[in-house]
Structure formats: structure tokens, C-alpha cells
């Protein structure tokens, strides 16, 4: 579970009050025949599915609530993918990615949409400090470099990691990075201050210790950052976890 949010419950309460498609857009029923042929033939073609086809797969598979695209960076397909990921869909997608399972049609489309969004992140984006909690230890030992096969959810809210300080077996992390997407404007729940990192993002484990309560505390640094970003004197407070 990426964050201790009630995103699953909240998503169930969302009512789909309309179509995500613009007026006069061809309906799913109208394009079902061509869509089926395109999906069947994709493995024998050098071309990938179009964004519109992938978007339609997401709409048909997840029945998401409507939204308005106010982004200057991401297209409708990419924002739709982010919104769907922040609901219950994240769990199955990450489970399959982390277990190297073959993705089904809907999760392949979801994964493609997220990949497309991450490709648009500016390389000169400012680095930030975020926080993450999990109920398992998903990285290697201190001093090593590792990566998560799934997407990594973090938060700008420092209060987040205080929730598990006394939960044995939990992990509290402070993460320095610059390639994450701040997804609050697109998420199902818009008050979580969530920053999402791409799958297979590499991190250096600067600090790792288990306290007397069995909680693992860590400081991670994205490998693309300048050397020792997380160890600079002006950021040394990051090494002092609650």
C-alpha cells in the first residue's frame, strides 16, 4: 500500500455523473469492433495502440468519474491514468509489476498512460523532500542502491510518517528526489499532497536503522540528484526522523 490513505473507500463513493468523452465523440459500442481488431492485431504490428484507443480501454475498464483537464503539461489520457491509479487500481498494477506478472489489457493501458506522463517531467525540475510509509521493507541495506519495480507513492506531508512510529514492522522513509509528479490536481483525493515516482526509479539508501519498536527508519536519495544531496549540511535535519 503506497500511503495510509482511504483512497479505496473514497473512490467507491464517487458517482460517475457523465462521460469523459467530448460531445459527439464516438461511443464505446460504436468503436468496439475496430477496437477489438486493433487489440488483437497489436502483437503482429510494429505500431502501438493510439492514446485514444488506450484511453477508451481505461474508460471501459475502470468507469472513472468525469474530470476537466486544466493541465498545460499532460493530455487527457495521461491525467485519466493518474486519476485511475490514485483509486483502488494502484494495488493490482503494482502487485503485477513487482511480481513480474504479465499485465492484462486494462493495466497495460494504465501503465502506458503513466509512462507517458513521466516522460514529460522536465529534467531540471527542482528536487524536493517527501515522506513515505509502508508495512514492509521494500529497499535493500544502507549504502546500497536499489529500485522498486512498482510506482512509488510519497507525500509532502511530514505528519504522514508519524502514524506508524509505534507499529512494529513498519517503515518510515524520507526521500530526496526530482523526478516525481505532484498529482494532487489530478488525484481522486486532492488533499493528500502526493508525489508519485515512476517504477524502477533508482535510490541510494543513505541511512537505515530499526528502532526499539521494530520500526525501520530510512533516508533515500534519487540517484540522478547531485552527489550527497541528502547529506548536505543544510539538509542534515532530514537525517533526524521522528
**Residues acting as catalytic residues:** 132, 153, 194
Report strand pairing: 128-134 vs 171-177. antiparallel
For residue 14, give the DSSP letter.
-
∠ CA(115), CA(118), CA(123), 5° rounding?
145
Q: Please list, in sequence order, all residues whose beta carbon lies within 8 angstroms of the beta carbon of residue 215, skipping any fewer than 6 positions away.
A: 164, 165, 166, 167, 168, 169, 170, 171, 172
For the stretch 125-162, what's the b/e string if a residue is b when 16 or more beta carbons lie within 10 angstroms of its beta carbon? eebebbbbbbeeebbeeeeeeebbebbbbbbbeeebbe
CB 11 within 8 A of CB 87: yes
Q: Supply the DSSP string of 137-157, one letter for each residue.
A: --S--TT-EEE-SS-EEEES-
Amino acid at each position: 500500500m503506497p500511503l495510509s490513505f482511504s483512497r479505496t473507500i473514497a473512490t467507491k463513493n464517487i458517482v460517475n455523473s457523465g462521460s469523459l468523452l467530448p460531445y459527439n465523440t464516438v461511443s464505446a459500442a460504436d468503436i468496439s469492433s475496430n477496437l477489438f481488431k486493433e487489440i488483437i492485431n497489436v502483437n503482429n504490428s510494429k505500431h502501438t495502440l493510439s492514446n485514444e484507443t488506450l484511453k477508451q480501454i481505461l474508460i471501459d475498464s475502470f468507469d472513472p468519474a468525469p474530470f476537466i483537464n486544466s493541465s498545460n503539461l499532460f493530455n487527457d489520457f495521461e491525467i485519466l491514468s493518474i486519476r485511475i491509479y490514485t483509486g483502488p487500481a494502484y494495488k493490482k498494477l503494482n502487485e503485477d509489476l513487482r511480481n513480474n506478472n504479465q499485465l492484462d489489457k486494462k493495466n497495460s493501458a494504465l501503465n502506458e498512460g503513466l509512462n507517458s506522463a513521466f516522460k514529460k517531467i522536465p529534467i531540471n525540475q527542482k528536487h524536493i523532500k517527501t515522506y513515505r510509509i509502508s508495512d514492509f521493507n521494500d529497499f535493500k541495506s544502507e549504502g546500497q542502491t536499489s529500485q522498486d519495480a512498482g510506482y512509488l507513492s510519497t507525500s509532502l506531508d511530514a505528519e504522514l510518517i508519524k502514524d506508524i512510529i509505534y507499529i512494529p514492522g513498519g517503515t518510515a522513509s524520507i526521500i530526496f528526489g526530482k523526478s516525481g509528479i505532484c498529482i494532487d490536481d489530478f488525484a481522486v483525493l486532492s488533499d493528500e499532497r502526493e508525489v508519485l515516482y515512476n517504477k524502477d526509479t533508482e535510490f541510494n539508501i543513505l541511512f537505515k536503522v530499526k528502532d526499539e519498536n521494530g520500526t525501520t527508519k530510512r533516508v533515500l536519495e534519487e540517484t540522478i540528484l547531485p552527489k550527497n544531496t541528502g547529506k548536505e549540511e543544510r539538509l542534515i535535519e532530514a537525517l533526524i526522523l521522528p
